[in-house]
Structure 1
Amino acid sequence: MVNNQEKFLELVDKNPESIFCYHNLHNVEEQNSFSKHTHNKGQLSYVEGGTLQVETDEKIYFVPGNHYIWIPKGVAHSIYSNSKEVLIRTLYIPIKQDEVEYYSNVGVYPANDLLLQLLLHTKDWTGDIEESNRKLYPIVQSIKVLLPDFSKKPINFTIPKIQNEKLNEVSIFLNNNLDKNIMLSELANKFNINERSLHRLFKKDINISFIKFFTIIRMYKAIDYLSQKKYSISEIASKVGYSSIPTFSNTFYKVIGKRPSDYQRGAEILK
């Protein structure tokens, strides 16, 4: 995988002036589909199906279906997906030093209709698209020029990257037990740490409480289940630890900004 990744990145940066186009890049059978790397072009990745997670040195960005992420050139990141079905449409775009500030910030955004249609025009393209290509280049260049206008309202689908080794073990355990109602006291006992100390560790390392962290990762997993279109709302609620559908729906709304049913309908309309 590493050798293939290195060869691919060489192709991306080989022509510094081209916009490099690639689709369905990520091998969904591997949880960690693209290890930490950088490139000399900015990256626009639109998630057409499934969900994607992008990890930088500071944060983990969660990219649900029908959203896209912009990653500036030179920003180290890894990409992975737990979804069994995920399609990524990616453009690697050269950015000049004097171009607008937007291109220097990582962000996750919902795709509007115009961006979606422009991206769908690229679905059969692959490799370098150069300015001399009068048929294809104007479309990908339009995407680059319009991105700052498309991307005025980033979605806060992020969690801070955990630095503490013990807290990382706790996080892995929580991610593997999202369907269980776990109390902070139980968690502290399992990992042989004082409850108050564990509470302070969450606040110190990622600046959010245990309850908020557990709620966020549950809701992000709920989005993953919604995108699969295999489960009812009640089944998804149960899978992420909620016995009450109204409570699940209200919590989802507080974190995501939409009701689960509205989110699912919106995804189907955009696809």
Structure 2
Amino acid sequence: MAKIAKDYYLTEVDKLPNSIYCMHDFMGEDGIQPHQHVKDQLLYTEGGLVHVKVQDTTYFLPARHYMWIPAGLEHSIHPGSNAVTMRNLYFPKTQGNEVFSAQAGIFPVNELLLQMLIFTHQWDGDILPEREAAFGFVSALRLILPQLSQNRLLLMLPIPTDKRLAQIIQYMDEFMQEGVLLPQLAQKFGFSERSLSRLFKSDIRMSFVQYHTIQRMLKALQLLLDHQIEIKEVAALVGYNSIPTFSATFRKVLGASPSAYAKRKDGLNLKP
């Protein structure tokens, strides 16, 4: 786990309640300790995978995606590599679009939103309404987010509370390449298939198949981001013998094919 960075900017975000706060920063090897804001947060990252922990769930934020973090939601941020850059916008709470605003989620960034985020790179710190052009532009970005963010991706996994299940999930991750099946898993850890299936559903509210599918796709995503590996090798490393099956599952979970995602993995590559 990455070490936790000093919270040098966290108290600045909410000092001026009417401002939109803009921050671009390299994370290095550091993370951001558990905290929350009075403002809503848009977190966009470049250069690798970022883990965002919210209560008993870990979100996996890849490059060319953003995470919406509602006001008041405690979270911590942990980079997957020292090359990660954060682009943050913090918005005052406003009326309207409460359904979108109230729920954390990860969304792909299309070209329009990408260009708008690039444009915000010229600003840092508080943007007040008196700065009409800047404030109007960033306010417009916020207003169109619900329209541009129809595809909420399930890039998250719950953290088990049962120690037995935590051990099983760790085993699933370590031996993913070999192909993990429920009957063999139950036998190895002294469960019946039925009781192990129930444990998944009672503890993390997901079936074994649902959890393991997302677990495999997130591992594949990390391999695509962090290593120069061909798609057929990535598929094999997460336990798929069929590349078409792997690609179809990847597209269903991540909203794009492995090849299309690999082409855009580097994000903006801008200097802060």
**When the two structures are superposed, what TM-score results if normalisation uses the length of structure 2?**
0.83
Contact 1:35 / 1:78 at 8 angstroms: preserved in 2? yes
State the partner residue of 1:4: 6
**Residue of structure 2 in register with 1:144 after alignment:** 142
State the Cα distance separating 1:45 from its structure 2 match.
Answer: 0.7
User: Is 39-48 or 178-187 further displaced after alignment?
Assistant: 178-187
In structure 2, C-alpha distance between the alignment counterparts of 1:134 and 1:221, rounded to whole Å: 44
Alpha-carbon distance in 2 for matches of 1:191, 1:83 = 33
Instruction: Quote the offset at 1:43 in angstroms.
Output: 0.5
Among candidates 74, 77, 80, match of residue 79 of structure 1? 77
Instruction: Give the match for residue 119 of structure 2.
Output: 121
**Tell me, what secondary structure is at the counterpart of 2:121?**
coil
Contact 2:216 2:238 in 1 (8 A): yes
Query: What amino acid is aligned across from residue 81 of structure 1 in structure 2?
Result: P
Partner of 1:226: 224
Range with bigger deviation, 181-190 or 252-261: 181-190
Q: State the alpha-carbon separation in 2 of the partners of residues 37 and 208 from structure 1.
A: 27
Deviation at 1:99, TM superposition (A): 3.7
Is contact 1:233–1:260 with CA below 8 Å preserved after alignment?
yes
How much has 1:192 moved relative to structure 2? 4.8
1:92 partner amino acid: Y
State the 4+ residue runs in structure 1 displaced beyond 4 angstroms.
Answer: 189-195, 266-271
* Equivalent residue, structure 1, for 2:233: 235
Residue matched to 1:61:
59
Match of 2:9, SS? helix
1:28-60: CA deviations, max 9, x gaps? x25xx2232211111101123322232323543
Alpha-carbon distance in 2 for matches of 1:123, 1:176: 40
* Percentage of pairs with the same residue: 39
Aligned residues: 266
C-alpha separation between the residues in 2 aligned to 1:85 and 1:43? 21
User: Counterpart of 2:97?
Assistant: 100
Unpaired segments ≥5 residues, structure 2: none
Q: Which runs of 5+ in 1 are unaligned?
A: none
- Alignment partners' CA distance in 1, 2:244 and 2:96: 46
Which residue number in structure 2 is paired with residue 21 of structure 1?
22
1:131 aligns with 2:133: no
CA distance in structure 2 between the aligned counterparts of 1:3 and 1:14, rounded to whole angstroms: 20
CA, structure 1 residues 232+123, in 2 after alignment: closer, same or farther (shift >3 Å)? Answer: same
Letter in 2 for 1:14: K
What is the match of residue 162 of structure 2?
164
3-state SS of 1:148 partner: helix
